[in-house]
Chains A and B, each alone.
Chain A
Amino acid sequence: MSNTQTDPVTPTITHLDLTLSELFLGFAKISVSGFGFILPWARRLIVDEKKWMTPEEFNETFSLSQFLPGPNVVNMAVVFGSRMRGAPGAAVAFAGLLGPPALIATFLSFLYSQFGDADILRRILTGIAAAAIGLMIAAIAKMAEPLLRKLSPSVIVLVITFVAIGVFRFPLIQTLLVLAPVSIALAYWWQRR
């Protein structure tokens, strides 16, 4: 399925006729439905509830976001919004997705700047951070599992990235300008072997 479907997302989307406010409210709803990794919520609303995309179109869009830089769901909202309504569509999708959480975050920041020194608050935050790091480790383990199973050179890249950024605290940009091309070259060589 390659030549006939060069752009699988456009067909369904072009016949949709979403207004700017529908776009805004849709993404605002996604943003406040979940915490952190809100992809499942985006999927529920876009695919199951509103039927803005088929499951295949959604997967297609997201196979890409896994390794694109930056905040994935935000990128997705902008691409979707712009396909629906051009630049204004991108702007309202962006505002819908980030507006409500940014307001909440700003309010929490204000509280933190006022009461951040309170012992009890600090202890509670430490507890939450400890748990959040655990969840992050679980997510990392799930992603690393298939890599470890295949025993490809990617395991070495993973370890080197971790040591360079996490242990030696090298700057991200310079490190990736070296590591990313090397990793892609290794992957290219590995698949042609």
Chain B
Amino acid sequence: MKSTDPLVTLAAHFAMLSLFAIGGANAGLPEMHRLAVEVEHWMTDQQFADLFAIAQVTPGPNVIISTLIGYQVAGIMGAFVATVAVCGPTCVATFFITRVWDRFRTAPLRIAIQAGLVPVSVGLLAASAWILAQSTDKTVIAFAVTAATALIGFFTRVNPLWIFAAAALLGGIGLM
């Protein structure tokens, strides 16, 4: 799968990984990080964390991180190719799976598939958080912001934008 054209590499990697990102775009983050930082050296760990932050303040679905990574790799074309590659195969898969799924609503195997994939999905998300925290939470204050936000997010229903604004301010004035 090695190719000299980064667009081809990007498309192939992202199309494949999206089929295994069980539980949404954030579940694919560890693999995106591994490919972009460790395998292809498209960006540094820090840049990846920056793009993750930008994706959080861009309106729209989480998958928009792939647009940002694509742009970093190959400009506008990269942004387009990465976005379509991440969505294409899974959209086709979803289309066919939804057609057969309801027919087997009470089948034990269907229930087992559903039950079996949930912990995998949560494990992937936990891995995302872990990997991103290692490149972001390098100071005590940054770590405290993450911990405090986790508690606020778990126990309250505060709009995340307020938390982002407060954290951006803390970061901006140089506390992290």
In Å, the complex CA distance between A140 and B154 comes to 9
Interface residue SS majority, chain A: helix
**Given A67-B118, A106-B71, A180-B22, does the pair A100, B91 have CB atoms closer than 8 Å?**
no
B interface residue count range (under 10 / 10 to 19 / 20 to 34 / 35 or more) = 35 or more
A24 at the interface (CB under 8 A from B): no
Q: Indicate the member of B109, B114, B125, B137 with the most A CB atoms within 10 Å.
A: B125
B63 at the interface (CB under 8 A from A): yes
Nearest B residue to A177 via CB reads B20
B129 touches A140 (CB 8 A): yes
In Å, the complex CA distance between A174 and B115 comes to 21
B8 at the interface (CB under 8 A from A): no
A151 at the interface (CB under 8 A from B): no
B167 touches A127 (CB 8 A): yes
Nearest A residue to B171 via CB reads A127
Q: Indicate the member of B50, B61, B160, B171 with the most A CB atoms within 10 Å.
A: B61
A129 touches B154 (CB 8 A): no
Nearest B residue to A127 via CB reads B171
What residues on B are CB-neighbors of A102 within 8 Å?
A: 60, 64, 67, 79-80, 83
A161 at the interface (CB under 8 A from B): yes
Q: How many A-B residue pairs have CB under 8 A?
A: 387
What residues on A are CB-neighbors of B72 within 8 Å?
A: 109, 113
| Chain B 80-117 per-residue mask, 1 if CB under 8 angstroms from chain A, else 0 | 10010011011101110110011101101101111111
A35 touches B171 (CB 8 A): no
B24 touches A71 (CB 8 A): yes
A interface residue count range (under 10 / 10 to 19 / 20 to 34 / 35 or more) = 35 or more
B117 touches A184 (CB 8 A): yes
**Given A128-B167, A129-B136, does the pair A180, B116 have CB atoms closer than 8 Å?**
yes
In Å, the complex CA distance between A162 and B30 comes to 10
Contact among A32, A68, A110, A120 for B22, CB-based, below 8 A: A68
Contact among B54, B89, B97, B137 for A130, CB-based, below 8 A: B137
| Chain A 160-183 per-residue mask, 1 if CB under 8 angstroms from chain B, else 0 | 111001110101110010011001
In Å, the complex CA distance between A32 and B34 comes to 29
| Chain B 44-78 per-residue mask, 1 if CB under 8 angstroms from chain A, else 0 | 00110111111111111111100110011000100
Using CB atoms and an 8 Å cutoff, list the residues of chain B in contact with chain A: 16-26, 28, 30-31, 34, 38, 46-47, 49-64, 67-68, 71-72, 76, 79-80, 83, 86-87, 89-91, 93-95, 97-98, 101-103, 105-106, 108-109, 111-133, 136-137, 142-143, 145-154, 160-161, 163-164, 166-172, 174, 176
The 4 closest A-B CB pairs, nearest first, are: A127-B171, A101-B60, A134-B149, A70-B90
